[in-house]
């Protein structure tokens, strides 16, 4: 799994998160103190949306790639948001095509935009923990640092959602470690990989993003897009074209296995 480099936007995120992580070091073990899920937040099935007051059930430590829709299932995954400019547009395209996706959220972004986190949940999409500050060198850092990044992001996302926990964990740039996978799994978050990297972050043009999906979807069902970190207009345009195409090819849209 390729690592994305040169992300100046994330330099600012990391800087902003330093104080959050430092303050949370004393209390970062998330003990499910938030209130129950609001009754109006129905959407995704209950087994994939444990409330903040429940004890998460351990899931597999193996990195998930398969779809719960079987051999012709496709998992749309959206990373790095939420973003006030692009997440609403991505949600609109998904809604227009009747597609549910998995949103891998950065903790500080979720904390800054709780309305968007709630909008994602309300539309029936699933939440994924993408750490506090999107550090792609996570696998070179001590276990204590990895723990803070994962548990603090879990807390931020759960609070921003109104009580819905993330049910997957995607390491930034694929920087998983045995420790981080085990920790996430113990919190009910299945480690989540990808099969198709659209490289939309590099802004190669909507046509190139679409071509990548068409040529590589046979590699596996989990497709990586982004809704933050810069201008994501190409991603939105590509989704408008590729989602109907996938349906025309006989694919259905599911969630990663848990």
Pick the catalytic residue: 113, 130, 134, 226? 226
Q: What residues contact residue 160 under an 8 Å CB cut-off, 6+ apart?
A: 110, 111, 113, 114, 117, 118
Residues 92 and 120 sit within 8 Å (Cβ to Cβ): no
Pick the closest to residue 160 from 227, 202, 113, 195 (CA basis): 113
Name residue 164's beta-bridge partners: 51
Strand extents, DSSP E, 167-219: 168-169, 190-191, 196-197
Based on the residue annotation, tell me whether 45 is a catalytic residue of this protein: no
DSSP run (H or E) holding 111: helix 107-112
Pick the catalytic residue: 4, 79, 130, 152? 79
Based on the residue annotation, tell me whether 80 is a catalytic residue of this protein: no
Residues recognised as catalytic: 79, 226
């Amino acid at each position: 799994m390729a690592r994305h480099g040169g992300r100046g936007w994330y330099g600012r995120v990391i800087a902003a998160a330093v104080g959050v992580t430092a303050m949370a070091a004393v209390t970062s073990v998330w003990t499910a103190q938030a209130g129950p899920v609001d009754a109006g937040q129905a959407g995704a099935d209950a087994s994939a949306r444990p409330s903040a007051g429940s004890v998460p059930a351990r899931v597999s430590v193996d990195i998930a790639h398969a779809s719960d829709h079987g051999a012709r299932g496709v998992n749309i995954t959206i990373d790095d948001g939420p973003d006030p400019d692009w997440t609403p547009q991505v949600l609109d395209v998904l809604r227009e095509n009747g597609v549910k996706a998995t949103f891998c959220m950065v903790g500080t972004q979720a904390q800054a935009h709780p309305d968007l986190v709630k909008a994602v949940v309300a539309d029936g999409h699933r939440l994924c923990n993408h750490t506090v500050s999107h550090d792609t060198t996570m696998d070179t850092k001590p276990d204590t640092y990895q723990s803070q990044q994962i548990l603090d992001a879990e807390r931020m996302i759960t609070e921003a959602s109104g009580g819905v926990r993330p049910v997957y964990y995607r390491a930034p740039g694929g920087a998983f470690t045995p420790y981080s996978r085990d920790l996430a799994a113990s919190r009910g978050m299945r480690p989540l990989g990808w099969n198709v990297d659209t490289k939309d972050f590099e802004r190669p043009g909507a046509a190139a993003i679409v071509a990548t999906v068409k040529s590589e979807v046979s590699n596996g069902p989990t497709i990586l897009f982004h809704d933050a970190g810069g201008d994501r207009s190409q991603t939105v345009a590509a989704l408008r074209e590729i989602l109907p195409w996938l349906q025309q090819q006989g694919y259905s849209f599911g969630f990663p296995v848990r």
